[in-house]
Structure 1
Amino acid sequence: MSDVIVKIIPKDPKFVPSEMKLGEVKEWINFNVSNEKTEYILTDEVRFIDQGENFESIGCPFCSSNIDLDWWGEVMDKASKTSFHNLSVVTDCCNEATSLNELNYKWNAGFSRFSIEIMNPREELTIEHTEYLMQLMGCKIKKVVAFY
């Protein structure tokens, strides 16, 4: 059987919510989001938060061209050598400076030290839910839907 994991991450890869805010988030999710399991993951290093089998393509945030996956693999390898502390890249299509985190991933993906991972939620997280979670966490967030 396949699993859907909704991953909530801060848009700022290095942001970590305070213990107090995290407690409020846990309480809200336990009360409002019916699911099989919720994990709160905090790592010392930034990591790539992927969309699993939902990965389709990556687009340039400037010219909307499809990003060459070989180029992306190379810049990901380079960034991983610094534990993703430096996500800066220059696009191969239009030579614009940006970040790996700012590329347009078809099915969201991103980089983060902290994630909330909700396994098989029984209902969709609405825009209102997302906005409330942003208030609770004190940061802008991104929702990554992964299928495994």
Structure 2
Amino acid sequence: MSDTVYSVIPTDPHWQPDRDAGDRATALVTRLAPEDDSGFDSEIDADWYDTVTAVDCGENLMKIGCPACEASIDPEWYRDLIEAHADDGFATLAVMVPCCGAGTSLDALDYDWPCGFARFEIAVWNPDREPFDERELSAIGEVLGHPVRQIRAHI
């Protein structure tokens, strides 16, 4: 069985809210993700990470572009990096890309579908709704105290 996950993360991968702000934002996301027609509630998880953690789009990832030379980067290179840091997160997002050897940041790569990195995440598992719209993301960011973005994953 596959899962759909809508993750809401701060736009700054290093930023993390205090517990109260994170709880208020999670409560808002819970109100925005209603139960489905059968009465099944979506599972919603809020996580505070000690280090920057990858929030990727799973099977939705189609390609990755290099910001330096605009070449395509093999998604397996990215997946290997994510797997290598799955347990301990990322001390830094600095990386040398395999296509041209340029130094860049993992959050600066051109992901198709969007991927992200964060120290805080609100994940909605198998929502019975469309992705959050800009108005909803703006409201979540206001409650959280920092602008947010959405990562849509198929796992």
- Fold match by TM threshold 0.5: yes
The structure 2 residue matched to 1:54, chosen from 60, 75, 93, is 60
Alignment RMSD: 2.6
- Residue pairs, 1:1-148, within 5 angstroms: 1-34=1-34, 35-69=41-75, 72=78, 83-93=89-99, 96-124=102-130, 125-148=132-155
Structure 2 CA distance for partners of 1:41 and 1:81, relative to 1, 3 Å: closer
Instruction: Specify the code of the residue in structure 2 equivalent to 1:18.
Output: D
Structure 1 equivalent of residue 38 of structure 2: none
Instruction: Show structure 1 runs of 5+ residues with no match.
Output: none
Contact 2:33 2:42 in 1 (8 A): no
Residues 72-130 of structure 1 show CA distances to partners (whole Å, capped at 9, x for unaligned) of: 46766887798411111244445544201111111111222211000112222111111
Structure 2 CA distance for partners of 1:70 and 1:30, relative to 1, 3 Å: closer
Instruction: Specify the code of the residue in structure 2 equivalent to 1:19.
Output: R
- SS of the equivalent of 1:143 reads strand
Structure 2 CA distance for partners of 1:78 and 1:122, relative to 1, 3 Å: closer
In the TM superposition, structure 1's runs of 4+ consecutive aligned residues that sit over 3 Å from their partners are: 68-83, 90-97
Structure 2 CA distance for partners of 1:76 and 1:147, relative to 1, 3 Å: closer
Instruction: Specify the code of the residue in structure 1 equivalent to 2:144.
Output: M
What is the alpha-carbon distance in structure 2 between the residues aligned to residue 72 and residue 85 of structure 1? 16
- SS of the equivalent of 2:72 reads coil
Structure 2 CA distance for partners of 1:122 and 1:75, relative to 1, 3 Å: closer
TM-score w.r.t. structure 1 length? Answer: 0.81
Instruction: Specify the code of the residue in structure 2 equivalent to 1:22.
Output: G
- Number of residue pairs matched by the alignment: 148
1:26 Cα offset (Å):
2.2
Instruction: Specify the code of the residue in structure 2 equivalent to 1:49.
Output: V
TM-score w.r.t. structure 2 length? Answer: 0.78
Instruction: Show structure 2 runs of 5+ residues with no match.
Output: 35-40
